[in-house]
Each structure stands twice: as C-alpha cells, then as structure tokens.
Chain A
Amino acid sequence: MHQAAALINMFWNRDPQCHTHTNYTGNGLPLALKNQIFNELFGAEFPGSADAIDGATPQPMNQAKAVFAKLSLIYLALHNSMTLCNYTLPGWASPLKSRNYRGDIDIEAQFWTAVTGQAVTRADMERTGLRILTLYRALTALRMKSTRAAGWKDMRNDHDQLPEWSFHAHSGSTTLDHADFENAKDRFYTLLGWDTVTGLPTLATYNALGLSDVAAVMTAAGLMP
C-alpha cells in the first residue's frame, strides 16, 4: 500500500490531505477482510486478484494498488468538491457484523441525488472526480511549464518525484524502490488515461472527459503528449 500513498503524494504539490486510503486501511477490520471487500468492490479493474493492501511485509507494486490510488484520489476530489468529510468517507466497509462488514459504495451518489434532485450513479460521480483530477493535472502542468525552459513537458520526471530519502531504509516508514515506483507510475498513468512518457493527460482522455476546451489550451501551451 505504500506505493499507493506515494502516488497520492506525488500528485499534489503539498500535503495531499487525502484520507480516502488511510480511512480504508485504518478501518480496524482484519487485513484479509479488508482485501476481500476491496477485491469484491473493485476487482473487475484488476482481474486475477491481487491485494491492494499489504500485510506486515511490503509487496511489489500491482494493479490493485494502482486502482486503490486512483480511487483514493477520485474520492478525495469528490469529497473536496461536495464538502463531504474525507476523514470518514467513503463507506466501502462497515463495522457492523450484521452487514457482513460491507459498507455502501453508493453513498456519494445518493447524497448528491438527495440534495440536488439530480439523479446520478456512482459511475457518474467517479467520472466527475476524474474530470476534476484531470483538470487539476492540466493546471499543475501549466504552472510547472511557466518556470521551465521552452519545450518542457516532463511531468513524470520533473514533477512526479519523491525525496530520495523515501528510497532508503528509515525507521517508522516503508522504503520505496525506484524501479517499483516507476512501475507504479506506469500503471497509474495508464489507469488515468495519461501518457506514460510525459505523465500528461492525452487528447483522447481530455475528449472522453468532456474537457476538449482544456485540451485546446494544453495543445497551445505545448503540453499535449
């Protein structure tokens, strides 16, 4: 899971204040049950079953962890936008034995529908979260470019970095591996529809998310992969 946390951290420019992933990993359920529930909910995105959350011994990057990072960021974006508490949501799991410890993953969609009267599905909400993240990515790239040389568009190596000490053993935290982290980025970018060389959203992604106007700005700025 440390790779998911690293991906979340690299995405932002300061403390991500993302609690989606820590809410879930810290929900108090036994590890096996946490992974079982996560696999039930989101396993279609990583067929072949892989645990998103490591036990005591850190494991190499896998697709489940990339999905976990993606969803963590999507729901952070949604909660920030909806002024919902990212410290307690999403409700993927429940402490209730009567619910077999399964939560309700439709809470955000139900909330939106109840308050606005606009009927939305979870898929609708997640797409909106992805739009928010992609727009934020574009804004970040534009800001980075403003301080870089002409022709720059390397978010992957220039922005998506972590301090070198993260890759060396230190007490109280899990050590990252350089190659494993690059593997994490590849998976993460692919899931989000970003170019794996530059770390920038592709034209196809902008268009699919209804952000063609943003694509035009990015193209004009030389930030289209």
Chain B
Amino acid sequence: MGMNNDGGAGAAEETRIEFGAEEQAAAGEKLAEPTVEEIKAKIAGKIRADGEEHGTVTPSEVVFALVPDSQQDRITAILEGMASDDRYADIKAVTTASGMVFFVSVKYIEAAQAIEISRIEEVKFLIAEKVRADSKNDLALTSAADLHSLAPEMEQDAIDAILEEMRNDDRYADIKAVTSSNGNVYYHSDRHMSGYYAVVLSRVAAKDPGATIAALVRDESRIYPRPTCVQFFLEPMFGIPSDDLKAVVDGMLRKPENGDIRMMVHPETGGVYLYCNQYLNGDTAFKMMHWVEVVKPANP
C-alpha cells in the first residue's frame, strides 16, 4: 500500500545523477587541448556557417567561447593571426558605435550588409539589456517608447521587426511582452520578473486603480482560491496613496461591472477583504479570512 514512487523518486534520482555526473567528469580523463590551428579553424567554421546557413553575423562572445579557458588570454593573438592568414581572408570584424564586435565571412555577407546586420544585433542586445535591467533593478516594465530611444535612427516598424526576431531567438527567450488594458505594450524579462507580476504592472500602467484592484481580486479568487486583503493594495507597486485607498475601493464597488466583487469586514479584527463571488462563496471566503485574521496568528 505504498505511494506512487515515480515523481519524487525520479526527481531525486535526476538531481543525484546530475550531481554525480559533475563529479565523474571532474575525475575523468582530461581531454587534449586543441592546437591554435584547430581553434582558428573552429572559429572560421562557425563564422562561415552563420553567414552561409543563417545569413547572420557572429557575436564576439560566441567566438570567444570557442577558445578554451586555458587560452583566453591569447584570443587577441589568435584573431590577429587569422587576420594575416590568407586562409581566413574572408573573415572580417565589424565594430559598432557602442563598441560591440561582430565577425562575418564576406564570402557570404557583403561588408555593407554586415554593418547593417551588426547594427540590428547591437539593437537586440541593447533592448535585452535594457529590459533585463529594468526588470531586475527597478522591478519595472519597459515601454515601447523606451526601447525606441535605444535606436532613434530606426522607424518604429524596424524596431517592431527586431522585437519579432528576438521572440524566436533563444538568446532572448526571457524577453516577454505584456499588453496593458489601454493597448500599450510593455516588456519584461522573466529571469527577473514573473509573468503575473508583469501583468499586474501593466494594469497599473493603465492608471485605473479600481480596475486593477478588481482584476487582481478576481484572479486570486479564481486561482488559489482566496480572498484578498485590501491592505495589499498599499504595496508600492500599485501606486495608491494610503489616504486614497478607501475611496478607490468604494468607487470600484459602486461600478456595475464590478457587481461580482464583494467586501467582507472581519467582526473581531476589522480586517477588510475582497473576493469575487464567481469563484468564491461568502461562507468559504469568510472561513479563509477568519483563518488569516484569527486562527493563523493564534497558532504560531
């Protein structure tokens, strides 16, 4: 009469196997270091393949990653050696205005086109870094206008095309879009901000705090389910001054479209909670509120 063994045991074994594999690799045979000539050939092969197969340039960090750790300090010498070697005459470097370096094989991509492609790759990088920084450092969404300022010489259509390319690029898989209720599009990095947090921020950006509150209350009642304490909306992310909260909630409750949102006040503590009666009935919502307000604090 035991439990289903698969999920937990499998997960545990997978963790142990991965950990064990690292140890085994560390204790395993040391592979022979590639020669400089082999490294050069590998670099050239990558750059040419990117050009021929994908019509794109190769970022410098991708090239550098092809050089073994033990020879990273010789990268410049290796690349200079290639520059003076006729076998690699087609391999060129493009340096953008911001100092980013891309490599290209002019056998497959002409110089002018390489410059254009490099600028696009640079913009992708700048967009991703901006979005990631905003998400990580400021817990904020990045607006489309903010992104356009990174490439002022480009039309909005060109920026949109770049963003569309990024959607299908594994390097930028964490860059996600979210659309506010007013139609504005914002971006965030899901490495640093969850998708739902971004959704809530996009609602806040629409500058209708009552609608933001109602939507979140419906979500909580549906997903968990649980009622929502109104004190939660004093969190900085909502931008609602404490003196305004009651008026915002009262105004929200008066709107006909919010007829499914109900308010409860705990008789002992005075705690104020909201719930959506599409997903929670009053008794269940009260029980949950009572747990949070009275039972849980009494059972530390």
Residues of chain A at the chain B interface (Cβ within 8 Å): 28, 30-32, 37, 40-45, 55-57, 71, 99, 102-106, 122-123, 126-127, 130, 169, 171-174, 191, 193
* Contact mask for chain B residues 1-38; partner A; CB cutoff 8 A; 1 contact, 0 none: 11111111101100000000000000000000000000
The residue in chain B whose Cβ has the minimal distance to the Cβ of A29 is: B224
Which residues of B have CB within 8 Å of A43?
4
CB-contact partner of A56 in B3, B4, B11, B280, under 8 A: B280
- Known contacts A30-B224, A56-B279, A174-B287; A130/B1 CB under 8 A: yes
Task: Tell me which residues across on chain B come within 8 A of A127, comparing CB atoms.
Answer: 1-2
- B1-A191 in contact (CB<8A): yes
User: Is the beta-carbon distance between A56 and B284 smaller than 8 angstroms?
Assistant: yes
Minimum C-beta distance from A216 to chain B (A):
23
A56→B225 CA distance, assembly (Å): 7
Interface size class of B (residues with CB under 8 A): 20 to 34
Q: Does B223 contact A (CB under 8 A)?
A: yes
Q: Mark B141-170, 1 if CB is under 8 A from A, else 0.
A: 000000000000000000000000000000
Task: Contact check, B7 vs A40: say whether CB atoms are below 8 A apart.
Answer: yes
Contact A105 B225 (CB under 8 A): no
Chain A residues contacting B279 (CB-CB under 8 Å) are 55-56
Question: Is there contact, CB below 8 Å, between A104 and B283?
Answer: no
- A71: chain B residues at CB < 8 Å are 3
Are A31 and B284 in contact (CB-based, < 8 A)? no
Tell me the complex Cα distance, A127–B2, Å: 8
In the docked arrangement, what's the CA distance between A113 and B237, Å? 47
Shortest CB distance A202–B (Å): 14
Alpha-carbon separation in the docked complex, A102 to B5 (Å): 13
With A56-B225, A171-B286 in contact, do A41 and B4 touch (Cβ < 8 Å)? Answer: yes
Q: Contacts of A102 on B, CB cut-off 8 Å?
A: 7-8, 11
Question: Which residues of chain B from 245 to 300 have any CB-CB distance to chain A below 8 Å in the complex?
Answer: 279-281, 283-287, 290
Q: Which residue of B lies closest to A122 (CB)?
A: B3
CB distance from A194 to the nearest CB of B (A): 13
CB neighbours of A41 from chain B (8 A): 3-4, 7-8
Residue picked from B3, B4, B6, B7, most chain A C-beta under 10 Å: B3
Give the residues in chain A near B224, CB-CB below 8 Å: 28, 30-31
- Find out whether the CB atom of B1 lies under 8 angstroms from the CB atom of A126: yes
Q: Which chain A residue lies CB-closest to B286? A: A172
**13 A-B contacts, Cβ less than 8 Å apart?**
A28-B224, A41-B4, A45-B1, A56-B225, A57-B284, A99-B11, A102-B8, A123-B2, A123-B3, A123-B5, A130-B1, A172-B290, A173-B283
- Residue among A32, A104, A123, A130 making CB contact with B12, cutoff 8 Å: A104
CA distance A71 to B8 in the complex (A): 15
Question: How near does chain B come to A112, taking the closest CB pair, in angstroms?
Answer: 15
B279 and chain A: residue at smallest CB distance: A56
Across the interface, name the chain A residue whose C-beta is closest to B291: A26
By a CB distance below 8 angstroms, the chain B residues around A173 are 283, 287
Residue ID in chain A nearest B3 by CB atoms: A42
Q: How far is the CA of A42 from the CA of B2 in the complex (A)?
A: 9
* Bound-complex Cα distance A71 to B285 (A): 27
Chain A residues with Cβ under 8 A from B4's Cβ?
Answer: 40-45
In the bound complex, how far is the Cα of B280 from the Cα of A174, in angstroms? 13
Q: Are B2 and A126 in contact (CB under 8 A)?
A: yes
